[in-house]
Structure 1
Amino acid sequence: MFTSILILISSLALLIISGHGLVKGSVSIASRFHISSLVIGMTIVAFGTSAPELIVSLRAAIDGHPDIAVGNVVGSNIANVALVLGLTAIVIALPVVSKRLFSDWLFMMISYFFLWLFFQSGTIERYQGVIMVVAIIIFTWRAIKTSMSRNKTEEEKVDKAYPVWLAIVIVLVACAGLAWGADLLVKSASDIASSLGVSERVISVTVVAFGTSVPELTASLVAAFKKETEISVGNIVGSNLFNILVVLGITSVIHPIPVDYMAFRIDLLWMAILGILLMLVIYPFKANLTAWKADRNIRILADLRNGRLSFWGGLMLFLLYIAYIALLF
Structure 2
Amino acid sequence: MTYLMVLGGLVLLFVGGEALVRGSVSIARKLNISELVIGLTLVGFGTSVPELVTSLRAIGQGAVGIAVGNVVGSNIANILLVLGLAAVIRPILTNPRALSRDGAVMLGVTALLCALIWFDLFTRLAGFGLIGLLLAYLAYSLVADQKRDTQAGAMHAAEGEIVQAQYGLFLGLVIAVIGLVAVIIGARLLVDGGVSIARDFGISETIIGLTIVAVGTSLPELATTAVAAYRGKSDVALGNIIGSNIFNVLGILGVTALVQPFSVRGNTGAAEMADGATTSLISSLDIGVLLLSTVLLMLFAITRKRIARWEGAVLLLAYALYFGLLFGLVPVPGILTNA
TM range (shorter): 0.7 to 0.9
**Aligned AA for 1:262?**
S
Partner in structure 2 of residue 215 of structure 1: 220
**Aligned AA for 2:188?**
D
Unaligned stretches of 5+ in structure 1?
285-305
After TM superposition, list the pairs within 5 Å mapping 1:176-325 onto structure 2. Answer: 176-260=181-265, 262-264=280-282, 265-284=284-303, 307-325=305-323
Q: Is the Cα–Cα contact under 8 Å of residues 96 and 232 in structure 1 kept in the other structure? A: no
- Mean Cα deviation higher: 197-206 or 104-113: 104-113
Matched positions, count? 306
Q: Is the Cα–Cα contact under 8 Å of residues 87 and 314 in structure 1 kept in the other structure? A: yes
Partner in structure 2 of residue 292 of structure 1: none
CA offset at residue 229 of structure 1?
3.9
Q: Is the Cα–Cα contact under 8 Å of residues 26 and 44 in structure 1 kept in the other structure? A: yes
Q: Are the structure 2 counterparts of residues 262 and 234 from structure 1 closer, same or farther at C-alpha, using a change threshold of 3 Å? A: same
State percent identity of aligned pairs.
38
Q: Structure 1 residue 105 and structure 2 residue 103: aligned?
A: yes
CA offset at residue 262 of structure 1?
2.7
SS at match of 1:162: coil
**Aligned AA for 1:196?**
F
Q: Are the structure 2 counterparts of residues 79 and 238 from structure 1 closer, same or farther at C-alpha, using a change threshold of 3 Å? A: same
Unaligned stretches of 5+ in structure 2?
266-278, 328-339
Q: Are the structure 2 counterparts of residues 79 and 7 from structure 1 closer, same or farther at C-alpha, using a change threshold of 3 Å? A: same
Question: How far apart are the structure 1 equivalents of 2:122 and 2:116?
Answer: 6
SS at match of 2:32: coil
Q: Is the Cα–Cα contact under 8 Å of residues 125 and 256 in structure 1 kept in the other structure? A: yes
Give the greater-gyration-radius structure (CA).
Answer: 1
Question: How far apart are the structure 2 equivalents of 1:226 and 1:123?
Answer: 42
Show CA shifts across 1:138-159 (max 9, x none).
111122222212449x999976
TM-score, length of structure 1 as denominator length: 0.87
Question: How far apart are the structure 2 equivalents of 1:150 and 1:164?
Answer: 26
Q: Structure 1 residue 168 and structure 2 residue 173: aligned?
A: yes
Q: Structure 1 residue 47 and structure 2 residue 45: aligned?
A: yes
Partner in structure 2 of residue 127 of structure 1: 125
CA offset at residue 120 of structure 1?
3.3
Partner in structure 2 of residue 15 of structure 1: 13
Question: How far apart are the structure 1 equivalents of 2:239 and 2:46?
Answer: 17
Q: Is the Cα–Cα contact under 8 Å of residues 78 and 241 in structure 2 kept in the other structure? A: yes
Show CA shifts across 1:230-277 (max 9, x none).
544232111111111111111111111221373313211110111112
